[in-house]
Amino acid sequence: MDYHNLYIIDTSAILSGRINLTENNYIYPESVISEIKSGNLKTIINSIEYLKIEIPENMYINEVINFAKKTGDYYVLSKTDIDVIALALQLNATIISDDYAIQNVARLMNLKYYGAGIETIKKEIKWKYRCTGCHKIYKNYIEICPVCGHKTKRYIKK
Ligand SMILES: [Zn+2]
């Protein structure tokens, strides 16, 4: 790992057991830490002296929410997921997450991310957007169908 970079760690990365939680350039959103409620992991987390816990600023949270609403990802993101992405945006950091929804939004926002797993995700989700009115299909995100003016809905390309 590049020590000049900062990394935002999400819950899936912690649960993977594959990252060294004590890396000093790892930053944890407060909501991620509060998701780890009990058990060995909680004990480990509590034992790390200099755990860097941050809360993203509202303007970055709002930016992520607005962006995810446009791409249709908003409804699959949890509050914690949004915090992870917002903090990466705020700190210009790289996300470490195995969560598909986080990775997808990070990619669309041009944020860097890695999976925590040994096996990296080989296939990106390719969304397509279908007009709810005339059923025309668009490859790239478009909110309103220019043909008939209805909203589009996304689906996964087969
Ligand atoms: Zn249409």
Rounded distance from Cα 39 to ligand 1 centre (Å): 51
Rounded distance from Cα 152 to ligand 1 centre (Å): 8
Residue 153 predicted with pLDDT over 50: yes
Average pLDDT for 49-68 = 94
Q: Which fold has domain 7-114?
A: Rossmann fold (3.40.50)
Q: Hey, where are the domains in the chain?
A: 7-114, 127-156
Rounded distance from Cα 104 to ligand 1 centre (Å): 25
Average pLDDT for 74-82 = 93
Judge whether 7-114 and 127-156 match in fold: no
Around ion ligand 1, which residues have CB less than 5 A away?
Answer: 131, 133-134, 136, 145, 147-148, 150
Taking the CA atoms of the chain, what radius of gyration do you get in angstroms? 17
Residue 21 predicted with pLDDT over 90: no
Q: Which pLDDT does position 87 carry in this prediction?
A: 97
Q: Which pLDDT does position 17 carry in this prediction?
A: 82
pLDDT confidence bin for 157, thresholds 50/70/90: low
Q: pLDDT averaged over the chain?
A: 87
Q: Which pLDDT does position 1 carry in this prediction?
A: 47
Residue 115 predicted with pLDDT over 80: yes
Rounded distance from Cα 149 to ligand 1 centre (Å): 6
Q: Which pLDDT does position 125 carry in this prediction?
A: 60
Rounded distance from Cα 134 to ligand 1 centre (Å): 4
Rounded distance from Cα 38 to ligand 1 centre (Å): 50
Residue 89 predicted with pLDDT over 60: yes
pLDDT more than 70, % of the chain: 91
pLDDT confidence bin for 27, thresholds 50/70/90: very high
List C-alpha distances in Å: 73 to 42, 60, 66, 155: 30, 16, 10, 11
Q: Which pLDDT does position 139 carry in this prediction?
A: 85
Q: Which pLDDT does position 121 carry in this prediction?
A: 47
Domain 127-156 has CATH 3.30.2320: no
